[in-house]
Amino acid sequence: MTTIFVDTNILLHAKPLQDITWEAYETPPITIVITKTNLRELDDQKDNHPKRHIRERARKALQRIEAALDNPTIRKHVTLVVDDTAPLIDFAAYELDPQKNDDQLLAKVLSAQQTPVDRIILYTRDTTPRIAAKRLGITAKTLPQHDELPPQKDEIEKENDRLKQELHELKAAAPQLGICINHDPASKLTATTLAPPPEPVDDAVLDTQARAARNQLPTFTRSTRIDRLTNVPGAMKVFAMPGITDLNEIPQTEHERYQRDLQTYEQTYRQHLLRMHEVSELRARTITLAITLENTGGKPAEDIDITITLPEHVSITDYAPVAPGPPSAPRPPQTNATLQHERMLQLTLTPNLPSYDFRMPNLNPTVRGPKITDHSITWWLRNLRHTYEYDLGTFYLTLPLPLRPFSVTYDLHATNAPKPFTGAMLITPIARQDAPSDTP
DSSP state of 328: P
Clarify whether residues 263 and 315 are in a common domain.
Answer: yes
Clarify whether residues 284 and 408 are in a common domain.
Answer: yes
Clarify whether residues 142 and 183 are in a common domain.
Answer: no
Clarify whether residues 133 and 280 are in a common domain.
Answer: no
Whether 359 is in a domain gets the answer no
Q: What pLDDT score was predicted for residue 358? A: 64
Whether 157 is in a domain gets the answer no
Clarify whether residues 248 and 301 are in a common domain.
Answer: yes
Closest Cα partner for 290 from 368, 392, 216?
Answer: 392
Residue type present at position 368: R
Whether 352 is in a domain gets the answer no
How far apart are the C-alpha atoms of 211 and 205, rounded to whole Å?
Answer: 10
Residue type present at position 289: L
Beta carbons of 399 and 160 less than 8 angstroms apart: no
Q: What pLDDT score was predicted for residue 162? A: 80
Whether 349 is in a domain gets the answer no
Angle at CA 219, nearest 5°, toward 218 and 225?
110
Q: What pLDDT score was predicted for residue 82? A: 95
* Per-block mean pLDDT, blocks of 10 residues, the chain (440 long): 94 95 94 95 94 92 94 94 91 94 94 86 94 94 93 77 75 84 88 92 91 90 53 48 63 90 94 93 95 92 95 93 90 89 80 68 79 93 92 95 94 92 95 62
Clarify whether residues 297 and 202 are in a common domain.
Answer: yes
Q: What pLDDT score was predicted for residue 169? A: 67
- Please state the domain count of the chain: 2
- Find the CATH number of the domain harbouring 263: 2.60.40.10
Clarify whether residues 250 and 387 are in a common domain.
Answer: yes
Beta carbons of 104 and 129 less than 8 angstroms apart: no
Q: What pLDDT score was predicted for residue 389? A: 93
Beta carbons of 399 and 286 less than 8 angstroms apart: yes
Clarify whether residues 97 and 198 are in a common domain.
Answer: no
Measured in whole angstroms, the distance separating CA 142 from the mean position of its chain's CA atoms is 48
Helices vs strands, H then E, count in the chain = 10, 16
Whether 35 is in a domain gets the answer yes
Beta carbons of 210 and 187 less than 8 angstroms apart: no
Q: What pLDDT score was predicted for residue 151? A: 83
Clarify whether residues 251 and 198 are in a common domain.
Answer: yes
- Find the CATH number of the domain harbouring 58: 3.40.50.1010
Beta carbons of 436 and 200 less than 8 angstroms apart: no
Q: What pLDDT score was predicted for residue 361? A: 66
Beta carbons of 30 and 22 less than 8 angstroms apart: yes
Clarify whether residues 134 and 223 are in a common domain.
Answer: no
How far apart are the C-alpha atoms of 428 and 26, rounded to whole Å?
Answer: 69
Clarify whether residues 233 and 368 are in a common domain.
Answer: yes
Clarify whether residues 81 and 199 are in a common domain.
Answer: no
How far apart are the C-alpha atoms of 33 and 76, rounded to whole Å?
Answer: 16
H or E element in which residue 253 lies: helix 252-283
Last residue of a domain, one of 96, 112, 147: 147
Whether 167 is in a domain gets the answer no
Residue 210: which domain range? 173-344+364-430
Whether 160 is in a domain gets the answer no
Contacts of 319 (CB under 8 A, 6+ apart): 396
Whether 439 is in a domain gets the answer no
Give the number of other Cβ atoms within 10 Å of residue 34's Cβ: 24
Query: Residue 188 phi/psi, 5° resolution?
Result: -130, 130
Q: Based on C-alpha coordinates, what's the Rg of the chain? A: 48
